Structure 1
């Protein structure tokens, strides 16, 4: 790790805003939500020839350092799994420190994603899962993402507010795969509910368990690249895929 964060003014790396930080989402009026849902559904990501798009979100607070390093290595497996099914673009979103939440542009090369991730160091701070879900909602409207993957170990926000944002993603048929490291009971309750509301899945992996996380990331990539049928096929030979498909609506 270089210990240097992604530079916020690089147009090729951070695209969410001028500073690279993700803004807080404002509550949507019912009319806005209805129009948003109609627009997103019209931009179906499962159309023939469409590239799969996956929002890959990571908790980069201090407790996440060991898993962040592991994820830098394992993320290449997502691209390899997707390559057998078609194609995949990934957008990395991470939060850390004092109210810092950033995202990259869309990336179709595992080496480039690994390079970007290697520039990010973990810093102490509270969780910002609400911003991740809000960014997923915006991307659903702008580019019709197929799925969201979140890897984290804690939740320090109002559960009802997170559930409201998750419900919007559920209306858009964008499943969120919540991958929890460790056994925090509060995080588990929130993560399970977010997964349920979006039609996604919650799975736990043990701290430092590379093989467990690899299987989960491969399964999520299979869904993002090839949809439910691809995940179903993978579930016949991979335990991670079986865990996801067993929970999805």
Structure 2
């Protein structure tokens, strides 16, 4: 993409506004009718843009000690575009939070070079998690663009688990699957991440940043799914795809 397009993409980064119920357009309940609706939403194939490409939101925790994992993500994000190329391509949006009150999202971009330039302009800063704001943004994107798949990479949860689960319920109602990738072994983080993935019919997987191929394969597997659906995912033979299929319930 030309440099002018890159600058335009950066300039139009969206600042995500706070609010505990920003995206609560439909209340979540435990009734059978809602359960049937959720099941139908999860069965929907990934959305595609007007030009035939799939869409994927790539969200990361960019606080404090996350710089090494952020740098790794910068290095391997190109594999997501490569994995999607055989299935019609993929538009990817980067979403991140850092500091005391910064939570932003880029426009959807179509190539690894542009996404890499955007990501390398960002450095990690200390702060608390803002997962609720990320989920609210994803809900709005689902309504605006038809987004159906989102990745989240992180190692901490410092928010109310019930509120996060409610926000994930809103995503499920909109047919968005969450793929929650956890670094580390914190038991509470695992419980929350697993719960958010389960509510949306997505998947939870643990990874080790010291083994970059783990995360590389997981990201590529989600990208293949976002571009070509379950058929594209099951066509992959690598360990990341097998782990993802297993985490999604086979």
After superposition, the C-alpha distances for 1:206-243 in whole angstroms (9 at most, x for unaligned) are: 13321100010000100100011111111xx1111111
Partner secondary structure for residue 158 of structure 2 = coil
Contact 2:165 2:195 survives alignment (8 Å): yes
Partner secondary structure for residue 107 of structure 1 = coil
| 167 and 91 in structure 1: CA distance in 2 versus 1, 3 angstrom threshold | same
Structure 1 residues 114-123 or 41-50, which shifts more? 41-50
Contact 1:51 1:89 survives alignment (8 Å): yes
Q: Map 1:76-225 to 2 at 5 A.
A: 76-225=78-227
Aligned-residue offset at 1:11? 5.0
Aligned-residue offset at 1:12? 2.1
* Aligned pair partner of 1:23 in 15, 18, 27: 18
> Which residue of structure 2 aligns with residue 3 of structure 1?
none
> Which residue of structure 1 aligns with residue 9 of structure 2?
12
Q: Give the TM-score, by structure 2 length.
A: 0.85
Structure 1 residues 116-125 or 205-214, which shifts more? 205-214
After superposition, the C-alpha distances for 1:162-210 in whole angstroms (9 at most, x for unaligned) are: 0001011112221100001111111111000000000000000013321
List runs of 5+ in structure 2 lacking aligned partners: 1-6
Contact 1:147 1:224 survives alignment (8 Å): yes
> Which residue of structure 1 aligns with residue 244 of structure 2?
244
List runs of 5+ in structure 1 lacking aligned partners: 1-9
Q: Give the TM-score, by structure 1 length.
A: 0.85
Partner secondary structure for residue 229 of structure 1 = helix
> Which residue of structure 2 aligns with residue 6 of structure 1?
none
Partner secondary structure for residue 91 of structure 1 = strand
Contact 1:43 1:144 survives alignment (8 Å): no
Contact 2:81 2:90 survives alignment (8 Å): yes
Partner secondary structure for residue 203 of structure 1 = strand
